[in-house]
A and B are shown apart, each in its own frame.
Chain A
Amino acid sequence: MDLNLTDEQHEVVSAVRAFLTDHCPPDVVRASEPGGFDPDLWRAFCELAGPTIGVSEKLGGGGASLLDLELVCEQVGSFLAPVPFIDGAVAARLLASSGSSGAAGLDLLIAEPSAVGTVALRPAVDGTATLVPSGSVAGVVVAMDADELVVVTGDGDGPAPSNLGSSPVADRAIRVPGRTVLGTGDMARAAHGQAIDEWRTLMSGALVGLGEAALAIGVEYAKNRHQFGAPIGSFQSIARDLADAATLVDGARLLAREAAWAQTDDDEQFAPLASMAFLFATRAARRASNVALHVHGGYGFTLEYDIQLYYRRAEAWPLALGDPRQGAAHLADALFGPIEAP
């Protein structure tokens, strides 16, 4: 057992952290609202760690593992960085796994590092993939359309609808000229399922980062705010909620990293672990941001304090995949097999 990162992973994490500390303070996050995308930040970010780093080197990528990507996502989540890293990384890996039919889409992403790719998480309805993550800014969209896994290129139809997480989500038409079929039937569904599990894992990483950062804000406030002549953090009911949230976040971090590790080292466990990680990280991030907002009292409810930025996203980000309780049902399928027909 080894729960330490490699030196190389430490370096990547510190580099991304240093970059985001400089380039993505809360002002930048606020300025990106409501669209949730900062093209300048994204271009600079891609010079450091573009989304194709998770593609194998022989296909022109950086050869990073899912665990390496997860570590980057923890930092992205921690700074609420308005960059489509998760969606781009998942799309690039899906295209890379699709053989020659994915080559054109992948080449596009590799040739232009700041091009945005994404995967529609839910099957299209009547040729439209709805509320696709990064859908308002993506130039390459992979989606399931009935029995086919397809990739379309080109700009979207407009800005994101205003939404709780200020995320760049948007509907995308996918029965458009020039679309490429990557696969059909069970093979296509399996490839798409694998991409969703990778998305679950990377989103878990982002939620862990979000939860950790929100908690740190709450703890700092609890140390400094005084009432009744004492720092509010010395009141047990405040300390208790923060301690519980810290425990959830630590557990979520271990589980997200385990899921990412399993993708390369324990293949059979990857799917259930990805689902578990996503469920638990969702719970941890929501609890941590809720507690952190609450300890701010009335100030936490004002737009002026940063904690609201975390609170809204903790609720919104996981919903891209739908009702989390459906996620528990999905995990049950992985653990117990499908429900038997009566």
Chain B
Amino acid sequence: MDFRLGPKSDAFRAEVRAFLDEHLDEETIERAHQTGTMHSREFHRAIGRQGWLAATWPAEYGGQERDPFEMTALRDELRLAGAPTDGMGLSVIVCQTIRRVATEEQKADFLPRALAGEICMSLGYSEPDSGSDVASIKTTATRDGDEWVINGQKMFTTLAHVADYVFLLARTNHDVPKHKGLTMFLVPLDSPGIEIHPVHTVGGERTNATFYTDVRVSDHFRIGDVDRGWDVMTVALTFERGGFGLSEADRVWEQAVAWAKETRRPDGSRVIDDPFVRERLATMRTNNEVARLLAYRTSFVAATGGLPGVEGSMHKLFYAESMTSDAAELVDMLGAEGVVQRGEDGAPVDGWVEHLFRHAAVTTIYGGTSEMQRSIIAERGLGLPRSGR
């Protein structure tokens, strides 16, 4: 066994750090937090130009053929630096799916621009009445000659206000079971008939409700076969889980430890010498280590030719749930001052703990809720009978 990512990843990590020193400034990070839009067009382009949106891709796509551990190192460094990476994450999911299911013509049209960071993708699966049960969506696409006409509403279309396309799941057939009448589209967001309304969240992240009224797209924008949208979703979902490594919890833990070492209480004692503080930080460090190992295992399974379904769910479940409870412990640890927010004088740990508390809750919800992950672990991992749902 060897628990190090390895010399290749270490070398790449150093490269990424140098790149971040040059291309990621405090202003970009601060702007993302101010606006809640975890995306910067310039930074996204810079990453694209560097070839890192296609870091693991084959050379025929202009990729760098890096292994999953190098990808982990890349993501680790982006996380530790606090870089706004939503656009990167969403675009990579869409590109990976297009690569697997789209026509050569579509690949030639979308992939070079997307992998270069010139365009950004968003995901339009969820609707007001369909989230976990995403196959029950109601947005429709109706054929009209060589065109499709889209009508309906999507909810939580993150980055739609800055992205160029939405990867949109629509119903194309009402006469078959719900999974069998869906089709996927890549809809240009500047099409007439699209309205985008902001939705603000407790974590400060902005997402959107998007409305589609008689939006027309040509058949070129249909990804995958008609009525086989669920197959496309299945491919896309495998890219949603995985590639993880360190998380916000690792970054904030480091910040909290540094703060606790340099901060003194009114009685002159160091915060880090308080036994309650020590126990919480030690417990969180342990959970972070387990989350990291579960993430790295996911990369390892992928790197050795496996499909890390259950492993990915275990990582998602554990990191989200432990980050949520550890963030609450850390706010408590800060006492009355724990509520003071970033930007205010005297906000402990520059307000990052308070921010982590607000952000953490969403990690148990998006990308498949904790309940969905548990079902996958129970049924596919433990072989328990399918539950009634």
Chain A residues within 8 Å of B, Cβ to Cβ: 1-5, 67, 219, 222-223, 230-231, 233-236, 239-240, 242-244, 246-248, 250-252, 254-255, 257-258, 261-262, 265-266, 272-273, 276, 279-280, 325, 328-329, 331-332, 335-336, 339-340, 342
Contacts and interface: CB of A to CB of B under 8 A. Distances in A.
14 contacts: A1-B2, A1-B300, A3-B3, A219-B383, A233-B378, A239-B375, A246-B377, A250-B314, A251-B291, A254-B297, A261-B1, A266-B4, A336-B260, A336-B261
Nearest to A71: B1
Contact of A336 (B278, B283, B290): B278
A234 B386 contact: yes
B358 interface: no
Nearest to B68: A1
Interface of B: 1-6, 69, 257, 260-261, 268-270, 272-273, 275, 278-279, 281-283, 285-286, 289-291, 293-294, 296-297, 299-300, 303-304, 314, 317-318, 371, 373-375, 377-379, 381-389
Given A1-B2, A5-B1, A243 B286 contact: no
Nearest to B3: A258
Contacts, number: 153
Given A236-B375, A244-B374, A257-B1, 19 more contacts: A1-B3, A1-B69, A1-B299, A4-B304, A223-B385, A234-B385, A235-B387, A240-B378, A243-B373, A246-B314, A251-B318, A255-B289, A258-B293, A261-B2, A261-B3, A328-B283, A332-B282, A335-B281, A336-B257
A219 B374 contact: no
A239 B281 contact: no
Nearest to A215: B382
Closest A-B pairs by Cβ, 7 of them: A332-B278, A239-B378, A251-B290, A243-B377, A254-B293, A233-B384, A243-B374
B282 A331 contact: yes
Nearest to A278: B286
Contacts of A236: 371, 375, 387, 389
Contacts of B374: 239-240, 243-244
B299 to A, nearest CB: 8
Contacts of B270: 340
B278 A329 contact: yes
Contacts of A222: 384
Contacts of A261: 1-3
Contacts of A255: 286, 289-290, 293
Given A1-B300, A222-B384, A254-B293, A276 B378 contact: no
A219 B382 contact: yes
Contacts of B268: 342
A276 B382 contact: no
Contacts of B317: 243-244, 247
Contacts of A273: 289
Contact of B286 (A4, A262, A280, A342): A280
Contacts of A279: 283, 286
Contacts of A248: 318
Contacts of B275: 329, 339
Contacts of A339: 273, 275, 278
Contacts of A247: 294, 314, 317-318, 377
Nearest to A251: B290
A272 B257 CA distance: 15
A336 B4 contact: no
A223 B379 CA distance: 11
Given A3-B300, A332-B281, A239 B387 contact: yes
B227 to A, nearest CB: 30
Given A243-B382, A336-B257, A276 B375 contact: no
Contacts of B300: 1-3
Given A235-B387, A335-B282, A243 B381 contact: yes
Contacts of B260: 336
Contact of B384 (A67, A219, A325): A219
B384 A336 contact: no
A255 B1 CA distance: 12
A3 B297 contact: yes
A342 B272 contact: no
Nearest to B288: A276
B1 A231 contact: no
Interface centre among A273, A332, A335 (most CB of B within 10 A): A332
A239 B293 contact: no
Contacts of B303: 1
B264 to A, nearest CB: 10
Nearest to B385: A234
A342 B300 CA distance: 47
B279 to A, nearest CB: 5
A182 B361 CA distance: 53
A280 B286 CA distance: 7
Interface centre among B69, B270, B300, B374 (most CB of A within 10 A): B374
Interface centre among A246, A257, A272 (most CB of B within 10 A): A246
Contact of B279 (A240, A242, A258, A332): A332
A236 B389 CA distance: 9
